[in-house]
Amino acid sequence: MSEFALSQEQSHAATSDADYLMIVAPPGCGKTEVLAHRAAHLISSLEKNQRVLALTFTNRARSNLEERLRAVLGQARTRRHIVVRNFHGFATQVVLAHGRTIGLEMDSLQQPKTSTLRKAMSDAGGNGAVMYDAERMLSEIKRNSLSDAEVLRVLQQQSPGKVSELAEKVERARQEVNQLHYDDLLRHAQCLLHIPAISRLYQAHFGAVLVDEFQDLSLQQLDLARLSCASRQTFAGDPLQGIYSWAGAAPAEVEAEIRKNCGEPIRLHESYRSSPKVLETVNSISERIDPGSSLISAQPARWTEGGCSAALVLHDRAQEAQVLPRLAAEILSCNPEASVGIICRAGWRRGDIDRAFSAETGFPVRRWELAIDDPRIVALIQSTVATLPRGASIADARLAVLDIVDPADVEAREQVDDAFDTLEQSNATTAKAAIRSIRVSDPKQTIGPGVHLLNAHTGKGQQFDWVFVVGMEEGHLPGRRNSQGAALAEEQRVLLVMLSRARHGLIVTRVDITSGMYGPYAAHQSRWWSELQTALTSAEEVETHLLAYASSVTA
């Protein structure tokens, strides 16, 4: 059972008797722990054979919540009383169970991958801005409870042009081959749950629903959550962490809808994640977005010298790619169990850094966009391949692994496929030979020791002992396309998300000289650079702090 003692404000949120509850929980304030204890509290109100449904956005978030639930409730009670799904997984479950009700041909229905829609657009002759706009048009239309026929009717009503023509062509082709796109999973599930007989089944089965990260919900996802359980709804999240409007999230509208039932939220203010120095930097940005939103450290004496925060100005990306591996190596020399997150707003900005770490053998390095680097996927592949005959091919292994993955877990199935695509690029002739080259990590640790290379959206909800936020230059953060209006406001929230991943140390970097299509040019510091409050300004000062950090780790 969990040894974590809830604070007064956390306990108030977890044990509230309100049937409809909204919890504003900034990063590091123990949201996952509160949700786990909230689930434990709600179990006593369930009717016989009812369960609590917990909805997250990603498998990583789902794993984090499941881990805390097992710590609070134990393995047996968690399995008996709680169902944890991400939204696409839950939608897939609904579609697989009831799809025939709305005329879906289930025997030949093809599940989506992230690349499915983009490939369909390309195959239909789309490119550039037209493809981007056609994807957006389809996505916006499918955020409504529409049948396939209705989707086509709405497309035909759009203004004539290349964008609507491409969108309609892709949608017709999708329907003809019975291929789902990710937006179709949510749309079909919404249509099904609007059928009273089906919604009653889910509302009878689920006596409570918990929704993690409410600020990332679309109105469609909010509808799915509410339709799955009509009573005892808990929504937890933080409006300042809303960074998914491009994917359909509607944070202002969703918050207004939730408040209609839940009223004023319970707010958490104490950070258990971050050191005082890190919080000073985080607060310097959060206060710009929402005055009065500063967090305080719940355990300020826990951190050596109050933690570490630094802003480094480097000459160019080449120097940056030298300094970061050196500092990461020194951190891991002080504490081999430390996790070091190196986070960029966009993948292209990480190129030189990725190359610098690619040859590193002194400590683990994981690129988060690669499924073959995901410890849980690797463990699943290794354990399955171990049961296969010695001469089993990589193709045989792929089928064997997919056979044991939950059909509703579309995210895991895609990761397995991506991992095997990488394995097939090796020269190995058998599956067992191919997996010998895989880096072994502890599958029980979402974030293990070593360096983690990732982008801003990938790292949301995660935490690292040390974080490097890289590339605070105009054009990268904020990006060129997001330099005004609501898009600019969201870019500032993206920065806040990146900063708030850090526990002990936070190091922010920018360069004076960057490079582009026509060679080197002077970079302009991010408009938010001067607002950052940090204690240190040089790599040498960070190294001095590491001497004290090493002593505290040894002690």
Helix axes 196-205, 182-193, angle to 10 degrees: 90
What's the pLDDT score for residue 489? 95
Long-range contacts of 124-128 (CB under 8 A, 24+ apart): 124/166, 124/169, 124/170, 124/173, 125/166, 126/166, 126/170
Question: Is the CB of residue 262 less than 8 Å from the CB of residue 19?
Answer: no
CB-based contacts of 535: which residues, under 8 Å, 6+ apart?
Answer: 277, 280, 308, 309, 310
pLDDT tens digits, one per residue of 50-69: 999 999 998 888 888 999 99
Angle formed at CA 41 by CA 37 and CA 43, multiple of 5 degrees? 115
Angle formed at CA 538 by CA 532 and CA 540, multiple of 5 degrees? 145
Q: Does residue 314 surpass a pLDDT of 80?
A: yes
Query: What is the pLDDT averaged over residues 258-262?
Result: 95
Q: Does residue 370 surpass a pLDDT of 80?
A: no
pLDDT tens digits, one per residue of 470-510: 999 999 999 988 888 999 999 999 999 999 999 999 999 99
What's the pLDDT score for residue 446? 64
What's the pLDDT score for residue 378? 83
Q: Pick the more confident residue, 163 or 483.
A: 163
What's the pLDDT score for residue 26? 95
- pTM, two decimals, is 0.87
Question: Is the CB of residue 299 less than 8 Å from the CB of residue 4?
Answer: no
Question: Is the CB of residue 330 less than 8 Å from the CB of residue 337?
Answer: no
H-type alpha helices, 429-484: 431-435
Q: Does residue 435 surpass a pLDDT of 90?
A: no
Query: What is the pLDDT averaged over residues 207-223?
Result: 96
What's the pLDDT score for residue 1? 42
Question: Is the CB of residue 371 less than 8 Å from the CB of residue 377?
Answer: yes
DSSP assignment, residue 124? T
φ/ψ of 334, rounded to 5, equals -70, -40
CB-based contacts of 95: which residues, under 8 Å, 6+ apart?
Answer: 104, 109, 180, 185, 188, 189, 192
Question: Is the CB of residue 68 less than 8 Å from the CB of residue 60?
Answer: no
Q: Which of 132-141, 318-327, 354-363, 435-444 has the lowest average pLDDT? A: 435-444
Query: What is the pLDDT averaged over residues 33-60?
Result: 94
Confidence of residue 429 (pLDDT cuts 50, 70, 90): confident
Computed over every residue of the chain, the mean pLDDT equals: 92
Question: Is the CB of residue 103 less than 8 Å from the CB of residue 110?
Answer: no
Q: What is each CA distance from 282 to 27, 190, 241, in whole angstroms?
A: 10, 38, 12
Which range in 370-374, 396-400, 407-411, 544-548 is most confidently predicted, on average pLDDT? Answer: 544-548
Strands 233-237 and 450-455: unpaired
DSSP-assigned states of every residue in 370-428? -GGG-HHHHHHHHHHHTTS-TT--HHHHHHHHHHHS-TT-HHHHHHHHHHHHHHTTSS-
- Structure-token pair, residue 435: 């997996």
User: Distance between CA atoms of 141 and 363, rounded to whole angstroms?
Assistant: 47
